[in-house]
Amino acid sequence: MGGLFGVASRKDCMLELFYGVDYHSHLGTRRGGMAAHGEDGFCRAIHNIENSPFRTKFERDVEEMKGNLGIGCISDYEPQPLLIQSHLGSFAIATVGKINNLDVILEKAYKEGHSHFQEMSGGLINATELVASLICRKGSFAEGIRYAQEMIDGSLTMLVMTKDGIYAARDILGRTPLVVGRKEDAYCISFESFAYINLGYSDHRELGPGEIAYITPEGVETVLPPGEKMKICSFLWVYYGYPTSSYEGVNVEAMRYRCGSMLAKRDNGSVQPDIVAGVPDSGVAHAIGYSNESGIPYARPFIKYTPTWPRSFMPQNQSQRNLIARMKLIPVRELIEDKKLLLIDDSIVRGTQLRETTEFLYKSGAKEVHVRPACPPLVYGCKYLNFSRTKSELELITRRVIREKEGENCPQEVLEEYTDPDSCRYAQMIEAIRREQNFTTLRYHRLDDLLASIGIEPCKVCTYCFDGKE
């Protein structure tokens, strides 16, 4: 994933930009960057943040950089923001999204005379640079931004900073959010709505799907109005959104309480654990909701070692991630031994980490481990955002189970049955996962309950990874 933050102020904005970007650190761990514009023109700093947090890498930059306009980002992929010189003038750009047809756009660019792009490691090009090249094909920033969004198969939210202001453009279908904050002498624009509260800003408004706004210290102007159709990602609430954030007026923490409550209602007393626990950090609120509804005590039978493992996203290498997943959770044996545990995690992707968590609970003396994922089974890989590092749908535990039963080429109509919680094939898939993972019982959150937990119109929420419907 990634996060964006921008400031347009009558005063120097670097300290606010620094803290605003830092508040997006939960969305990625590879690259961080800031760009600003002031009396001395544009300036920029980008650092690798894989081995240390954003804040420590940019402490010196925030003292040296000056400007009353600034944008910054956390990125799990390409270095950004980029500084671009073009016929539209100089500008800085940062993006969040996913481009599925990058090769097609790149080939078209070469055929139309674009001679080169900078190469990143692994022979890849910087996707944000490609977006900038698309913007520059039009006669204005607004036209160029919309052209880039329309050319891309996937999703694209961006900030584009000129010498006079910041263009903020939410993805055409609003898959990721952008919200404006306001105070007396400045406006800011942020992916996460909580990122500006401690900086003295109050909520101004959330951009609609596809809306392009132009932000200056004096105000916010809608350049292109929002569209009517929206498909905001449901995983914002389930997993990668921060608890203090709200999207479309729905707070993440409150949604997770409702989610846990609905899981408890579905169980309806069919299991009698001694305690309810959440896999830290995103499973905790779901578990509190379950505990509140069921009356079963909430406890923490294992604790994340936050002094050195404060963030949930881990290195790209799968074996390293598995090792870190084990190292960062430390058991509290007094709360595990001879206990029946009900464990809530945000999701099951490959199943590797949760299986190892279950095994260490058994080794620590647990009598039973009941598992309740806080979302439906992930059956389809996400086409629109990079929320999971799964490179193939066949890495999903659900697809492996389906392939073992149905063969390599499962017909679409059969695959759809595995997404229906009332079908026999769904029940067989859940039982196969339960056995493989060595859970005492397994019940996933239902899609209809998930949508009810969010509480906005279901047609406005993207659930592709659960049901394959676009």
Per residue in 4-48, pLDDT (tens digit) is 999 999 999 999 999 999 999 999 888 999 999 999 999 999 999
Confidence check: pLDDT of 52 > 90:
no
Confidence check: pLDDT of 312 > 50:
no
Confidence check: pLDDT of 313 > 50:
no
Beta bridge partners of 180: 189, 205
What pLDDT does 470 receive?
86
Q: With bands split at pLDDT 50, 70 and 90, how would you rate the model's confidence at 390?
A: low
Report d(CA 46, CA 81) in Å as an integer.
8
Q: Which of 343, 395, 409 is nearest to 373 (CA)?
A: 343
Using only the alpha carbons of the chain, give its radius of gyration: 23
Tell me the whole-structure pTM to 2 decimals.
Answer: 0.92
What pLDDT does 323 receive?
63
Per residue in 103-161, pLDDT (tens digit) is 999 988 888 877 788 877 677 889 999 999 999 999 999 999 999 999 999 999 999 99
Indicate the SS3 state at residue 47: strand
What pLDDT does 262 receive?
98
Q: With bands split at pLDDT 50, 70 and 90, how would you rate the model's confidence at 367?
A: very high
Least confident of 88-92, 199-203, 223-227, 305-309: 305-309
| Cβ pair 290, 263 in contact under 8 A | yes
Report d(CA 115, CA 209) in Å as an integer.
33
Q: Please give the share of the chain, as a percent, with pLDDT higher than 70.
A: 94
Q: With bands split at pLDDT 50, 70 and 90, how would you rate the model's confidence at 280?
A: confident
Q: With bands split at pLDDT 50, 70 and 90, how would you rate the model's confidence at 303?
A: confident
Confidence check: pLDDT of 94 > 60:
yes
What pLDDT does 388 receive?
54
Least confident of 261-275, 300-314, 450-464: 300-314
What pLDDT does 418 receive?
96
Q: Where are the alpha helices (DSSP H) in 152-251?
A: 235
Indicate the SS3 state at residue 55: helix
Q: Calculate mean pLDDT across residues 416-442.
A: 97
What pLDDT does 111 receive?
87
What pLDDT does 199 receive?
97
* Cα→Cα distances 361→238, 279, 324, 334, 451, Å: 24, 12, 17, 12, 31
